[in-house]
């Protein structure tokens, strides 16, 4: 938007003055970010490899694409403003330099935002959570817990843990005074389910007869069983 204002000022003040050639585009030689994020592109491949499924990608894709489009708009705005650096008017060149500085800062911030969207800060950010509330000083509720699930539930709630102040007017308060109490809130991430598949061919089962004192079948039947996982040698 600001670059369009500068362009309008340039056309109004110097309508017949030719503007110098454009610099080399910032993204010359590299595909657009939308193409990188498409199926099979580096960004999508990165997310699928680190998330283990497309569920994480489907959740983050709309927000990522919005930031990517904004980044492309800012880069286009920067390229348009760079044209004004070749103008003969010194005041217009100074305005263009200030505009370029602002655009570059915004572009850097958008790139950092994309990185934050791509890389979760913690492995448990995608997990569901258990919210536990324990009464402190005052209050009628002693303990309560709730299971909360959803998109990045733990990431949005993990900083809510701690001691909270609760202010209320009890029903038994006739003068309408506010009572203050405290409660402790704990935010616990729920572990994700693990699907463990063991190939029977990787197991060796050894049976032996137990030794020592025991019942009448202790030394006559193969009652001692040992299972060995061959790839890891776990017993």
Q: Which residue has the tokens 């880069």?
A: 75
For residues 52 and 69, what is the distance between their CA atoms, to the nearest angstrom? 26
Which stretches of the chain score pLDDT less than 70?
Answer: 1-61, 119-121, 138-140, 210-222
How does the average pLDDT of the chain come out, rounded?
Answer: 73
For residues 116 and 47, what is the distance between their CA atoms, to the nearest angstrom? 12
The CA-based diameter of the chain, rounded to the nearest angstrom, is 112
Q: Which residue has the tokens 């100074």?
A: 94
Spatial contact of 152 and 59, defined as CB atoms under 8 Å apart:
yes
For residues 46 and 63, what is the distance between their CA atoms, to the nearest angstrom? 17
For residues 40 and 164, what is the distance between their CA atoms, to the nearest angstrom? 47
Task: State the DSSP code for 26.
Answer: T
Q: Which residue has the tokens 């990522």?
A: 64
Q: CA-based Rg of the chain, rounded to a whole angstrom?
A: 32
For residues 173 and 179, what is the distance between their CA atoms, to the nearest angstrom? 9
For residues 56 and 59, what is the distance between their CA atoms, to the nearest angstrom? 5
Angle between helices 90-118 and 2-13 (to 10 degrees): 160
Give the model's pLDDT for residue 16: 38
| Percent of all residues in the chain with a pLDDT value above 70, rounded to a whole number | 64
Give the model's pLDDT for residue 7: 47
Residue extents of the structural domains in the chain: 2-119, 125-189, 200-229
Q: Which two tokens stand for residue 11?
A: 């056309």
What's the topology of domain 125-189? Alpha-Beta Plaits (3.30.70)
């Amino acid at each position: 938007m600001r670059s369009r204002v500068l362009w309008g000022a340039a056309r109004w003040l110097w309508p017949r003055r030719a503007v110098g050639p454009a610099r080399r585009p910032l993204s010359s030689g590299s595909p657009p970010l939308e193409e990188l994020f498409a199926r099979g592109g580096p960004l999508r491949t990165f997310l699928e490899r680190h998330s283990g499924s497309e569920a994480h990608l489907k959740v983050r894709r709309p927000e990522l694409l919005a930031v990517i489009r904004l980044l492309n708009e800012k880069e286009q705005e920067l390229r348009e403003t760079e044209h004004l650096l070749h103008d003969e008017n010194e005041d217009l060149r100074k305005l263009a330099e200030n505009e370029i500085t602002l655009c570059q800062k915004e572009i850097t911030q958008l790139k950092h935002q994309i990185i934050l969207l791509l890389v979760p800060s913690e492995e448990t950010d995608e997990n569901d959570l258990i919210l536990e509330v324990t009464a402190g000083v005052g209050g009628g509720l002693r303990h309560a817990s709730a299971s909360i699930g959803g998109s990045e539930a733990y990431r949005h709630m993990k900083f809510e843990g701690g001691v909270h102040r609760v202010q209320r007017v009890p029903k038994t308060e006739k003068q309408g005074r506010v009572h203050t109490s405290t409660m402790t809130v704990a935010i616990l991430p729920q572990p994700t389910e693990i699907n463990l598949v063991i190939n029977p061919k990787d197991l060796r089962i050894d049976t032996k007869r137990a030794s020592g004192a025991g019942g009448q079948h202790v030394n006559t039947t193969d009652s001692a069983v040992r299972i060995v996982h061959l790839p890891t040698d776990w017993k």
